[in-house]
């Protein structure tokens, strides 16, 4: 389980999303108007679901196809989370020199990259198992 590279990618994804929840709690404007909060039901639900899917995918290491499907679903949910962040942050005033949006808005992109890498490793393992089955 832990010796497979996709497990490492999925753990990094889970930590990235947990760090997003802890490190990026609230996004406010200059007027102290809360635009994005991790306590909102939509943001909290998406973050919790993405973290839970990453953990479940790590635990289903014997079922590679299920793990692959869970990762694809997690990628879609991360895109939805990124879309929510971008939609909400469009109303924030910010210039090109000093950005008030923060880097936390783009942490789901890092998660998506690691999920894609995990899916590539799962596909590689699946192909290896199929090639060994052909030789028997």
pLDDT digits (tens, 9 = 90+) for 126-135: 888 888 877 6
Residue 122 inside a domain? The answer is: yes
Lookup: tokens for 92 = 């924030």
**In the prediction, which pLDDT does 11 show?**
92
How remote is the C-alpha of 130 from its chain's centroid? 29
pLDDT per position as a tens digit, 1-51: 567 888 899 999 999 988 888 877 666 666 666 667 777 888 889 999 999
Residue 135 inside a domain? The answer is: no
Q: Are 57 and 121 in contact (CB under 8 A)?
A: no
Whether 118 has a pLDDT exceeding 90, the answer reads yes
Residue 115: name the closest of 63, 79, 62 by CA: 79
Residue 41 inside a domain? The answer is: yes
**In the prediction, which pLDDT does 26 show?**
66
**In the prediction, which pLDDT does 21 show?**
83
Lookup: tokens for 54 = 């990453």
How many domains, in total, are found in the chain?
Answer: 1
Residue 9 inside a domain? The answer is: yes
Residue 117 inside a domain? The answer is: yes
Residue 136 inside a domain? The answer is: no
- What 8-state DSSP symbol labels residue 26? E
Q: How far apart are the first and last CA of the chain?
A: 24
Residue 27 inside a domain? The answer is: yes
> Which pTM was predicted?
0.82
Residue 134 inside a domain? The answer is: no
Distance between CA atoms of 76 and 14, rounded to whole angstroms?
15
CA–CA distances in Å: residue 104 to residues 25, 27, 38: 9, 9, 12
**How many of the other CB atoms lie within 10 Å of CB of 98?**
6
More confident of the two residues 136 and 44:
44
What kind and span of H or E run contains 105? none
pLDDT per position as a tens digit, 60-110: 988 889 999 999 999 999 999 988 888 877 766 655 444 555 667 778 899
* Owning domain of residue 25: 5-129
């Amino acid at each position: 389980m832990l010796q497979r590279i996709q497990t490492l990618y999925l753990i990094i994804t889970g930590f990235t999303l947990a760090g997003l929840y802890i490190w990026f709690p609230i996004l406010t404007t200059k007027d102290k108007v809360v635009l994005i909060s991790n306590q909102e039901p939509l943001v909290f639900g998406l973050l919790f679901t993405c973290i839970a899917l990453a953990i479940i995918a790590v635990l289903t290491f014997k079922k590679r196809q299920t793990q692959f499907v869970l990762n694809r679903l997690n990628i879609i949910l991360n895109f939805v989370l990124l879309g929510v962040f971008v939609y909400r942050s469009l109303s924030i005033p910010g210039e090109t020199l000093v950005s008030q949006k923060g880097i936390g808005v783009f942490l789901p992109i890092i998660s998506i990259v690691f999920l894609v890498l995990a899916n590539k490793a799962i596909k590689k393992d699946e192909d290896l198992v199929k090639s060994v089955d052909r030789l028997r």
